A and B are shown apart, each in its own frame.
Chain A
Amino acid sequence: MASVVVDVMLKPEILDPQGKAVHGALPRLGFEGVTDVRQGKRFELELDGEVTPQRLDQVRALAATLLSNPVIEDFDIRVED
């Protein structure tokens, strides 16, 4: 078993209304000093067997095809220990 994490974030130039809503709530809760919030998605993929370069390529393809929309989002992949 191996765990691969895919983080998906809106591209920096894309407006993130959800992040703005979270950011707007922080002062009301008494949290000061946070200058910006961006909200993203984290996917945890459990793979059977070893993580090989080929398997990572598959995950990369999966992330680019389904988990993210490359028009508006970037993704980052890492293998969990």
Chain B
Amino acid sequence: MRLGVVTFPGSLDDVDAARAVRIAGAEAVPLWHGDHDLRGVDGVVLPGGFSYGDYLRCGAIARFAPVMTEVVEAARGGMPVLGICNGFQILCEAHLLPGALIRNDHRRFVCRDQRLRIESTTTAWTSAYEQGQQVVVPLKNGEGGFVADGDTLDRLEGEGRVVARYVGANPNGSLRDIAGISNASGTVVGLMPHPEHAVESLCGPGTDGLGFFTSAVRTLTATI
């Protein structure tokens, strides 16, 4: 089982994402933004950070990085892809997921341990959770407000594509408290909070985030 983790200029959480992949029992394969090569991986994680300094719009330039040609093609072909924070922004910019992430409504960077409710367990990245299960993982973003038009939001809700929702006070102005969504087939998931920072009890708020990665390992083991 090989899960690739892409490093863009300005990625911050690629090392933690790779560590989470390894703890989940898969091989973490480093992927480089400048290569047209996925190195034979079975799934891809787009990590958090500030790719290209968040210039233009968050994720707007990373979306056109050479490796993204391959990621988009593979994602459209059904490969599991998880975008975390900046990775979520990149997936939206690449139109693999609907909507967009804008600046937090309260205009401040938010960094906290955040409670989420898992709303969909049918995706490649959430099958290890129970429907409605609450988890706590770090959240840290300046531009994490999920927005989409009303029809898109209704479609996401109707098709069960809201993957996770914020519990308690909305931390960033995301419409309908949406913390994560998936594509129609559930293979591509974007998530604003950071499960990769909650995979070991030594640091972080616990190990609630590990399930995202074990889910992918389980999904891929079942299909390969």
Residues of B within 8 A of A (CB): 56-57, 60, 64, 92-93, 98-100, 102-107, 145, 147-149, 173
Q: Please determine whether B103 and A18 come into contact, CB atoms closer than 8 angstroms.
A: yes
A17 sits at the interface (CB 8 A): yes
Contacting pair A15 B92 (CB below 8 A): no
Q: For residue B99, which residues in chain A have a CB less than 8 angstroms away from its CB?
A: 71
Q: Per-residue 0/1 for A3-14: is the Cβ within 8 Å of any B Cβ (1 yes, 0 no)? A: 000000010011
Contact residues in A for B98 (Cβ distance below 8 Å): 71
Taking CB atoms, residues of chain B closer than 8 Å to A69 are: 57, 60, 93, 100
Picked from A14, A21, A72, the residue with its CB within 8 Å of the CB of B107 is: A21
Kindly report which residue of chain B lies nearest to residue A71, judged by CB atoms: B100
Q: Are A15 and B105 interface neighbours, CB within 8 A?
A: yes
> Residue A20 at the B interface, CB < 8 A?
yes
Query: Which chain A residues have a beta carbon within 8 Å of chain B's beta carbons?
Result: 10, 13-15, 17-18, 20-21, 66-67, 69, 71-72
Residues of A within 8 Å of B173, CB to CB, are 15
Contact between A71 and B148, CB atoms less than 8 A apart: yes
Query: What CA separation (Å) do A6 and B93 show in the bound complex?
Result: 19
Contact B102 A14 (CB under 8 A): yes
Pair A67/B107 contact, Cβ less than 8 Å: no
Shortest B24–chain A CB gap in Å is: 32
Chain A residues positioned under 8 Å from B104 (CB to CB): 17
Whether B102 contacts A72 by the Cβ 8 Å rule is yes
The answer to whether B107 touches A17 (Cβ under 8 A) is yes
Extra 16 A-B pairs, beta carbons < 8 Å, given A69-B93, A69-B100, A72-B102 = A10-B102, A13-B149, A14-B102, A14-B147, A15-B102, A15-B147, A17-B102, A17-B106, A18-B107, A66-B60, A67-B56, A71-B92, A71-B98, A71-B99, A71-B100, A72-B100
Q: Which residues from A are CB-within-8-Å of B100?
A: 69, 71-72
Residues of chain B lying within 8 A (CB to CB) of residue A17: 102-107
Q: How far is the CB of A14 from chain B (nearest CB, A)?
A: 6
Interface pair A15/B145, CB less than 8 Å apart: yes
Which residues of the partner chain B approach A20 to less than 8 Å between Cβ atoms?
Answer: 107
Docked complex Cα distance between A14 and B149 (Å): 9
Contact residues in B for A21 (Cβ distance below 8 Å): 107
Question: Nearest Cβ in chain B — how far from A58, in angstroms?
Answer: 16
Complex CA gap A45/B135 in Å reads: 48
A20–B105 CA distance with the chains assembled, in angstroms: 10
